[in-house]
Amino acid sequence: MTATALELAVVVPTFNESRNVPVMVAAMDKALAGRRWEVIFVDDDSPDGTADAARAIGRTDPRVRVVQRIGRRGLSSATIEGMCATAAPFVAVIDGDMQHDETLLPKMLDALLADDSVDVAIGSRFVEGGGTGEWDRDRVAKSELATRISRKVLKADLSDPMSGFFMIRADLVRTIVPHLSAIGFKILLDILTASPKPLKFVELPYVFRTRQIGESKLDHVVAMEFLIALYDRMFGRVVPVRFVMFSAIGALGAGVHFAALWLFFRLFGYSFLTGTIVATLIAMTFNFFLNNALTYRDARLKGFRALLDGWVGFCIVCSVGAVANIGVAAFLHDVQQAQWAPSALAGIAVAAVWNFALSSRFVWG
Ligand code: GDD
Ligand code: MN
Which ipTM was obtained for this model? 0.97
Atom of ligand 1 nearest to the CA of 216: 22
Is 79's C-beta closer than 6 angstroms to any atom of ligand 1?
no
Q: What is the pLDDT of residues 14-65, one digit of tens each?
A: 999 999 999 999 999 999 999 999 999 999 999 999 999 999 999 999 999 9
Does an H or E element contain 65, and which?
Answer: strand 64-68
Per-residue pLDDT at 155:
65
Averaged confidence pLDDT in the chain: 90
Report d(CA 52, CA 154) in Å as an integer.
39
The crossing angle, in degrees rounded to 10, of helices 20-31 and 50-58 is 40
Is 97's C-beta closer than 6 angstroms to any atom of ligand 1?
yes
Q: Which residue has the higher pLDDT, 241 or 91?
A: 91
Residue 199 β-bridge partners: none
Instruction: Compute φ and ψ for 44, nearest 5 degrees.
Output: -90, 55
Q: Is 97 exposed, middle or buried (0-12, 13-18, 19+ CB in 10 A)?
A: buried
- For residue 76, pLDDT over 90 is answered with no
* First-last CA distance in the chain: 45
Q: What is the pTM of this model?
A: 0.75
Per-residue pLDDT at 179:
85
Q: Which of 160, 165, 122, 164 is nearest to 140 (CA)?
A: 160
Q: What is the pLDDT of residues 259-316, one digit of tens each?
A: 999 999 999 999 988 998 899 999 999 999 999 998 998 889 999 999 999 999 999 9
Q: Which residue has the higher pLDDT, 93 or 147?
A: 93
Atom of ligand 1 nearest to the CA of 186: 37
- For residue 184, pLDDT over 60 is answered with no
State in Å: Cα 222 to ligand 1 middle. 10
Is 225's C-beta closer than 6 angstroms to any atom of ligand 1?
no
Per-residue pLDDT at 150:
74
Report d(CA 280, CA 198) in Å as an integer.
50
State in Å: Cα 32 to ligand 2 middle. 21
The 3-state DSSP class for residue 120 equals strand
Per-residue pLDDT at 127:
87
Q: What is the pLDDT of residues 148-158, one digit of tens each?
A: 777 776 666 78
The 3-state DSSP class for residue 131 equals strand
Confidence band for 186, pLDDT divided at 50, 70 and 90: confident
Q: How far is CA 336 from CA 150, 312, 323, 333, 343, in A?
A: 47, 35, 18, 6, 9
Q: What is the pLDDT of residues 209-252, one digit of tens each?
A: 988 999 887 766 667 777 777 777 777 777 888 899 999 999 99
Q: Which of 122, 128, 129 is nearest to 93 (CA)?
A: 122
∠ Cα 9 154 243 (to 5°): 90
The 3-state DSSP class for residue 92 equals strand
Q: Whose CA is nearest to atom 32 of ligand 1?
A: 163
**What is the β-pairing status of strands 8-14 and 120-124?**
unpaired
Per-residue pLDDT at 74:
85
- Convert 112-144 to b/e letters by CB count within 10 Å (16 or more is b): beeeeebbbbbbbbbbeebeeeeeeeeeeeebe
Per-residue pLDDT at 185:
53
Residue 42 β-bridge partners: 13, 67
Per-residue pLDDT at 1:
47
Per-residue pLDDT at 237:
73
Per-residue pLDDT at 37:
98
